[in-house]
Amino acid sequence: MKKTPHIARTAIQALAFAAGGLFLAAATHAADTHKGSKEAYEHTKSEAKAKYDADTEKCKSLSGNAADVCKAEAKVQRVTAVSTAEAQYKNTPKAAYEARKDIAGAQYDLAKEKCDDKTGNDKDVCKKEAEAAHTAAKADAEVKLKTRKAINDATEDKADAQYAAAKEKCDSLAGDAKDACQAKAKADFAK
C-alpha cells in the first residue's frame, strides 16, 4: 500500500474541511438574506434522515474501520444538511454559528475514524492534524459569529446616530412642518 506524503495528506484533510465550510458559507449567506420556511426545513430534515438511513444501511456490508468511516461520512452529510437548513430557517448569527460548530464536530469525528487505519506515529500525526483542523473550524465559527454581531451592532449604532441627526434638523422647524419632519424621521429609521 502506497503511503501518502505528510503534506499531501494534510492538504487533503484541509480540502475536506474547506469543502464543508464553503457549503455552509454559501448556505449561511443565503440565510443572511432570506429566512427559510419551516416547511423547507422540515423537508430537508426528512430527506437527510432518509439518506442517512440508506447510507448507513450500505455501511453494514462493510466491516471493521471501513464500516466506521462509512457511518461517519453519512453522519457528516446528514449534519451538514440539517444544520445548514436549521441555520437558514432560524436566520440568526447564533444559528449559523451552531451549524458551523456541529459540522466541524462531525468532520472531526470522520477525520478521527480515518486515523484508525494508521499505526504508530502516522496515527498520532493524523489525530493531531484532525484536532488542529477541528480547533481551526471552531475558531472560525466563533470569529464569524462575533463579526456578524459587530456588524449588526455597528449598523444599529449608525442608524441611531442618523436618526438623532434627522430629529435635530426637525427642531429648527415649528408646528405642522416640525410634526411632519419628525414623522418622516421616525418612518425613515423605523423608530
Assigned C-alpha cell, 6: 505528510
The pLDDT of residue 191: 84
The Cβ-side half-sphere exposure at 13, using a 13 Å CA radius, reads 29
Question: What is the tens place of the pLDDT at every residue in 103-113?
Answer: 999 999 999 99
With a cut of 50, say whether residue 71 has pLDDT above it. Answer: yes
Residue 67 — very low, low, confident or very high, per pLDDT cuts 50/70/90?
very high
Answer for the pair 94, 149: CB distance below 8 angstroms, yes or no. Answer: no
Mean pLDDT of the chain: 86
Question: What is the tens place of the pLDDT at every residue in 16-45?
Answer: 454 455 444 444 444 443 467 899 999 999
With a cut of 50, say whether residue 15 has pLDDT above it. Answer: no
| DSSP element (H, E) containing 12 | helix 6-33
Answer for the pair 40, 85: CB distance below 8 angstroms, yes or no. Answer: yes
Closest Cα partner for 90 from 30, 142, 4, 10? 30
Instruction: Please state the separation of Cα 176 from the chain's center in Å.
Output: 50
Cut 0.75: pTM above it: no
Which DSSP string corresponds to 130-189? HHHHHHHHHHHHHHHHHHHHHHHHHHHHHHHHHHHHHHHHHTT--HHHHHHHHHHHHHHT
The pLDDT of residue 178: 93
Mean pLDDT of 72-94: 95
